């Protein structure tokens, strides 16, 4: 396996920047040290250039070259550690601003003499090591890499060359796709799932890695999941955590119950009489004309709310198993259990499922081994064993061209057109993973000729390939990896931090790239934009696969194929870039110092695998799953930059004291932990950029947060429950005091604003703010805080605010935005939710860059569609009722809207040129009719309701692909009839009925 170059290149790039910064501090260095540092800086710069040349000539990497590269990497790590440790041991007094510079300089030298003397010794030793590495290369005959020709690998390019061309990915939605060449198989499997057998049955899909068994199972699961009350999907793999798997299933089941609870709580307390329902249903069946709003009686609380449930984190194995059996016993459920490696694994999961169930439940499992597949489905006639083979005939060619065409050009409209020889997909031996990977390589090298691609094929496989072995797949992955620019190699290696089979949030990854220094400002783009560009390129390269899109059309979560992730993990370990402990990988302990540590749950037993490891130079720590202890005492607090403890149940208040000693910490992830309060010492983390406290019980920030001058993202609160955190109160009423507070803040999400909050005045000073999300408002109408908040939003809107979300349930604040003197013209996303939104601001039609719009359902009128239809970039439009408590006034507003439009809302026939997603979330939805030529780009309609009066004219929506109706099993007869009618009479779009599960 060839040595990784990307990680070493990134390390050198970051290190050279730090060396330059240190050399610029005239007062910090003792005489003589400057020359040593300058020597190391020049030597490492030459080494970096050598590494980049080497990355363009991977064939030149013999064993001597690999060993020499490891030495470069290690000395680079040690130099970086030395600089960081030294820099943060010195006082941060500014010599340039001192009045009596000579006196202050002498005092400073005395105070820091010992620290500066210490670095003198360390730098001198590192200089000797750098000299020895250079001499050793000549002594052992490590040759220069051969000159790279223009038609060879594109890895010599820097990722900045690709930024301008592929800066923005086109906004899109992920739909259900049928696997290529599997139509007959999919029909057979669908018939089995929908079969008459009322007892639980198992479908076992067998095939070796990369053949597409998970793709088939996923497509089947996504297509049929809405026919079941409960659905859950988990990945098991070789070294799995049984409790984590069961808790994941139970958590998904609980979430579906919570969806039902929320839908029930949003219903009206009034109900329509049974005789009225009956006559109304008959009227629908006979005329399908105007209908009247219907209500379902509110479901009685049966005492099964989450408040009375045991917390998932504290549940024992027996408790999880017992509750899972109880919930699934009388409901139709669909389970998807991916990548089972042994019969013992299957038995341990099966025993935790209900023994009796006569609702037609189904279980889909995938495995690489025939004997395991047979064990999972022993009941012939009821269970089904399905073996997946490689693609044959024209299917490889079809899959290749479909995969290439998915890569859009920078304009987001034209498909990529390529002219390649047949050998390029024939060398993949019909293996879908290899074909898709090669398609990403081809799509990113459109300038290569047929002769160039033939040379690639000859280089990979000198003889025709009938079937691809594991070695052959690795060879293809090697070539695709070496084709990556250096920056993308580093970003792809970073994926090895995350566990196998899990969904990864795009924002979590890109923020960590920024904190690690892998994405920095360049070519006029911010760090966030550069990171997003890198992410889009990894999608284009088929290294990662999108799973979910947000309503703004951008990727929300993604996955990495098991074989690709295994390749990346081994590459990262070889480079000593990332060390994985536990998880699905059975890796030997590292012999070198650990640089980035990923601790992953690997069974129910506590993880003690860090014992014996050298953790003194760890820069990044990430925890996944159950972990009893974390060795804080082994870490060097002066160099840790990333600490991601999301979901760690073992985090205690005492650990926060240790965390506040990590002076160079840039990323702190505490999401879904049990903390209730942040210590005041958090203000000492002056380098902190991201603070994630979402889904915790931290409802107020300490005052010292204002000292975090580099903080760019503060994320907190719980959106589903409309709970936010309060900003720290300031005693000083002087707004000038805020000028030095959090000036770099770009994202402030999940806040709660109360009356007499002095923090509102400080919002005016956050001129770099790009996103502001207010989860709760508790202020008096036209009061002081009311006026200050409106003034702040108006001012921030003129400074570059791009996302604004306000949930206002009672203060009538969102209606006051109607009379703003100037529109927030830079907005790309706007959310105005609550109970009393009466009308839309007129300035909304001036938001030419707006792509995502969420409004309260109280403004669902024909005039609203008429006002919004000329927004050129609008991608998604949502009407919702997002509030904890409903009131009678909301119901009256909805009835008034219906009466004003004669019970029917028309969507105009022109406009909405970019709208692809239309969503409704409300107790009931009035009759909607789409005019001819309406919403020409609309691909999906989603409704989440108790009852609705029908969607008419959707056959005129030329681009419509999917209609998703989510409603209760206890919906009224009229609604159920309309749903059945819509499903039977809709052409050209897939109608999905998702029944909410009654608790």
Which residue reads 């796709």 in tokens? 177
Same domain, residue pair 45 and 86: yes
Tell me how far apart the alpha carbons of residues 986 and 685 are, in angstroms, rounded to a whole number.
58
Same domain, residue pair 75 and 134: yes
Tell me how far apart the alpha carbons of residues 454 and 110 are, in angstroms, rounded to a whole number.
68
Same domain, residue pair 345 and 476: no
562, pLDDT greater than 70 = yes
DSSP-assigned states of every residue in 652-702: -HHHHHHHTT-TT--EEE-TT-------GGGGG-TT--EEE-TTSS--B--
The overall longest dimension of the chain from CA atoms, in Å, is: 97
Q: Which of 271-280, 478-487, 682-691, 836-845 has the lowest mean pLDDT?
A: 271-280
Tell me how far apart the alpha carbons of residues 40 and 951 are, in angstroms, rounded to a whole number.
70
Cβ neighbours of 199 (radius 10 Å)? 12
Same domain, residue pair 228 and 360: yes
Same domain, residue pair 187 and 40: no
Give 830's pLDDT tier (boundaries 50, 70, 90): very high
Give 938's pLDDT tier (boundaries 50, 70, 90): very high
DSSP state of 582: E
**Residue 725 resides in a domain:** no
CATH number of the domain where residue 220 is located: 3.40.50.300
Same domain, residue pair 396 and 383: no
Give 794's pLDDT tier (boundaries 50, 70, 90): very high
- Whether the CA torsion 848, 852, 854, 860 is positive or negative: it is positive
* CA 669, chain centre distance (Å): 14
Are the C-beta atoms of residues 541 and 444 closer than 8 Å to each other?
yes
What is the share, in percent, of the chain residues with pLDDT greater than 90?
A: 28
154, pLDDT greater than 50 = no
Give 267's pLDDT tier (boundaries 50, 70, 90): very low
165, pLDDT greater than 70 = no
Q: Over 762-808, what HEC string results?
A: HHHHCCCCCEEEEEEEECCCCCHHHHHHHHHHHHHHHHCCCEEEEEE
Tokens of residue 48, six digits: 């970096």
Half-sphere exposure of 634 (CA within 13 A, CB side): 15
- Domain count across the chain: 4
Give 95's pLDDT tier (boundaries 50, 70, 90): very low
**Residue 567 resides in a domain:** yes
Same domain, residue pair 376 and 510: no
**Residue 361 resides in a domain:** yes
Same domain, residue pair 359 and 491: no
**Residue 820 resides in a domain:** no
Tell me how far apart the alpha carbons of residues 229 and 997 are, in angstroms, rounded to a whole number.
5
Tell me how far apart the alpha carbons of residues 404 and 399 are, in angstroms, rounded to a whole number.
9
Same domain, residue pair 23 and 168: no
pLDDT given for residue 811 in this prediction: 82
Same domain, residue pair 243 and 380: yes
Tell me how far apart the alpha carbons of residues 178 and 216 are, in angstroms, rounded to a whole number.
8
Q: Which of 575, 604, 629 is the last residue of a domain?
A: 575
**Residue 699 resides in a domain:** no
Same domain, residue pair 343 and 409: no
724, pLDDT greater than 90 = yes
Task: Catalogue the long-range contacts made by 46-49 (C-beta closer than 8 Å, 24 or more residues apart).
Answer: 47/12, 47/72, 47/76, 47/133, 48/9, 48/12, 48/13, 48/16
The 10 Å CB-count burial string (b at 16+, else e) for 496-530 is bbbbbbeebbbbbbbbbbbbbbbbbebeebbbbbb
513, pLDDT greater than 90 = yes
**Residue 723 resides in a domain:** no
* Domain encompassing residue 69: 2-90+104-143
Q: What is the pLDDT of residues 289-340, one digit of tens each?
A: 333 333 333 333 333 344 345 666 677 888 888 989 988 888 889 999 998 9
Q: Which of 117-131, 194-208, 760-774, 799-813 has the lowest mean pLDDT?
A: 117-131
> Which range has highest mean pLDDT (140-144, 305-309, 456-460, 732-736)?
456-460
Q: What is the pLDDT of residues 646-705, one digit of tens each?
A: 988 888 888 999 999 998 899 999 999 989 999 999 999 989 999 999 999 999 999 999
Which residue reads 């402030």 in tokens? 748
Q: Which of 342, 364, 387 is the last residue of a domain?
A: 387
Are the C-beta atoms of residues 799 and 778 closer than 8 Å to each other?
no
Tell me how far apart the alpha carbons of residues 952 and 982 are, in angstroms, rounded to a whole number.
9
Between 288 and 804, the more confident residue is: 804
Tokens of residue 332, six digits: 């139709």
Quick one: which of 676, 666, 663 has its CA closest to 644?
Answer: 666
**Residue 268 resides in a domain:** no
Which residue reads 């002066």 in tokens? 638
DSSP state of 308: G
Which residue reads 């001198």 in tokens? 124
**Residue 939 resides in a domain:** yes
Q: Which of 362, 387, 412 is the last residue of a domain?
A: 387
Same domain, residue pair 117 and 234: no
């Amino acid at each position: 396996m060839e040595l990784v170059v990307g990680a070493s290149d990134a390390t050198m790039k970051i290190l050279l920047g730090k060396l330059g910064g240190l050399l610029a501090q005239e007062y910090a260095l003792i005489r003589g040290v400057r020359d040593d540092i300058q020597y190391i800086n020049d030597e490492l710069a030459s080494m970096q250039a050598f590494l980049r040349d080497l990355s363009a000539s991977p064939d030149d990497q013999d064993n001597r070259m690999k060993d020499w590269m490891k030495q470069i990497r290690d000395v680079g790590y040690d130099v970086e550690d030395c600089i960081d440790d030294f820099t943060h041991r010195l006082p941060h007094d500014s010599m340039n601003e001192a009045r009596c510079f000579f006196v202050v300089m002498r005092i400073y030298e005395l105070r820091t003499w010992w620290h500066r003397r210490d670095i003198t010794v360390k730098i001198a030793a590192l200089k000797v090591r750098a000299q020895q590495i250079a001499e050793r290369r000549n002594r052992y005959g490590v040759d220069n890499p051969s000159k790279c020709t223009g038609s060879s690998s594109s890895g010599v390019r820097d990722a900045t060359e690709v930024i301008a061309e592929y800066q923005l990915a086109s906004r899109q939605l992920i739909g259900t796709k049928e696997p290529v060449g599997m139509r007959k198989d999919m029909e057979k499997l669908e018939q089995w799932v929908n079969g008459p057998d009322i007892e639980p049955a198992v479908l076992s899909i067998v095939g070796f890695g990369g053949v597409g068994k998970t793709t088939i199972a996923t497509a089947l699961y996504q297509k049929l999941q809405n026919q079941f009350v409960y659905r859950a999907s988990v990945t098991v793999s070789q070294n799995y955590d049984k409790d984590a798997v069961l808790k994941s299933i139970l958590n998904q089941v609980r979430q579906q119950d919570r969806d039902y609870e929320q839908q029930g709580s949003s219903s009206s307390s009034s109900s329509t009489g049974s005789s009225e329902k009956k006559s109304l249903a008959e009227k629908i069946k006979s005329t399908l004309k105007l209908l009247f709003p219907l209500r379902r009686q509110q479901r009685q609380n049966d005492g099964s709310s989450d408040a009375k449930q045991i917390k998932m984190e504290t549940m024992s194995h027996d408790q999880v198993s017992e509750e899972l059996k109880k919930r699934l016993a009388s409901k139709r459920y669909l389970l998807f259990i991916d990548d089972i490696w042994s019969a013992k694994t299957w038995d341990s999961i099966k025993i935790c499922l209900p023994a009796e169930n006569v609702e037609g439940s189904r279980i889909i499992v995938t495995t690489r081994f025939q004997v395991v597949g047979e064990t999972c489905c022993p009941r012939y006639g009821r269970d089904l064993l399905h073996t997946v083979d490689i693609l044959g005939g024209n299917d490889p060619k079809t899959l290749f061209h479909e995969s290439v065409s998915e890569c859009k050009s920078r304009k987001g409209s034209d498909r990529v057109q390529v002219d390649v020889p047949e050998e390029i997909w024939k060398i993949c031996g019909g293996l879908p993973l290899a074909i898709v990977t090669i398609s990403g390589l081809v799509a990113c090298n459109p300038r290569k000729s047929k002769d160039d691609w033939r040379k690639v094929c000859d280089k990979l496989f000198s003889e025709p390939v009938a079937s691809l072995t594991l070695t052959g797949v690795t060879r293809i992955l090697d070539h695709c990896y070496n084709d990556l620019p250096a920056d993308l190699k580093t970003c792809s290696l970073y994926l090895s931090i995350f566990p196998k089979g899990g969904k990864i949030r795009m924002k979590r990854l890109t923020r960590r790239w920024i904190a690690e220094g892998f994405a920095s400002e360049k070519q006029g783009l911010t760090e966030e934009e550069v990171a997003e560009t890198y992410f889009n390129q990894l999608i284009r390269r088929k290294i990662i696969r999108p799973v979910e899109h947000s309503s703004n059309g951008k990727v929300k979560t993604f996955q990495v194929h098991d074989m690709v992730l295994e390749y990346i993990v081994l590459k990262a370990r070889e480079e000593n870039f990332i060390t994985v402990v536990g998880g699905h990988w059975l890796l030997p302990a590292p012999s070198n110092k650990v640089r980035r540590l990923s601790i992953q749950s690997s069974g129910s037993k506590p993880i003690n695998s860090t014992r014996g490891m050298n953790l003194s130079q760890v820069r990044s720590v990430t925890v996944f799953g159950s972990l009893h202890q974390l060795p804080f005492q082994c870490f060097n607090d002066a160099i840790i930059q990333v600490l991601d403890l999301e979901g760690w149940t073992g985090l205690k208040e005492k650990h926060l004291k240790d965390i506040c000693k990590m002076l160079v910490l840039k990323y702190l992830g505490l999401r879904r932990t049990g903390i209730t309060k942040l210590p005041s010492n958090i203000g000492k983390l002056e380098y902190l950029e991201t603070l994630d406290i979402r889904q915790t019980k931290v409802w107020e920030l300490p005052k010292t947060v204002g000292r975090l001058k580099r903080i760019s993202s503060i994320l907190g609160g719980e959106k589903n429950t409309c709970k936010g955190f309060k900003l720290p109160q300031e005693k000083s009423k002087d707004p000038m005091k805020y000028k030095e507070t959090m000036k770099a803040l770009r994202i402030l999400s999940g806040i709660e604003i109360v009356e007499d909050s002095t923090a509102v005045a400080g919002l005016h000073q956050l001129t770099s703010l790009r996103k502001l999300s207010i989860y709760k408002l508790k202020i008096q109408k036209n009061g002081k805080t009311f006026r200050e908040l409106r003034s702040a939003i108006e001012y921030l809107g003129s400074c570059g605010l791009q996302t604004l979300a306000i949930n206002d349930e009672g203060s009538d604040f969102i209606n006051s935005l109607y009379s703003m003197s100037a529109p927030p013209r830079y907005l790309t996303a706007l959310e105005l939710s609550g109970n009393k939104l009466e009308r839309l601001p007129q300035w909304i039609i001036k938001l030419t860059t707006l792509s995502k719009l969420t409004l309260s359902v109280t403004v669902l009128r024909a005039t609203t569609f008429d006002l919004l239809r000329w927004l050129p970039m609008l991608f998604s439009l949502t009407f919702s009722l997002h509030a904890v408590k409903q009131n009678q006034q909301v119901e009256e507003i909805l009835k008034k809207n219906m009466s004003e439009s004669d019970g029917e809302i028309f969507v105009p026939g022109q406009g909405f040129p970019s709208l692809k997603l239309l969503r409704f979330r409300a107790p009931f939805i009035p009759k909607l009719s789409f005019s001819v030529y309406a919403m020409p780009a609309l691909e999906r309609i989603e409704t989440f309701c108790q009852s609705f009066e029908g969607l008419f004219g959707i056959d005129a929506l030329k681009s419509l692909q999917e209609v998703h109706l989510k409603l209760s099993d206890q919906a009224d007869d009229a609604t159920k009839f309309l749903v059945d009618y819509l499903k039977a009479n809709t052409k050209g779009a897939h109608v999905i009925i998702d029944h909410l599960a009654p608790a």
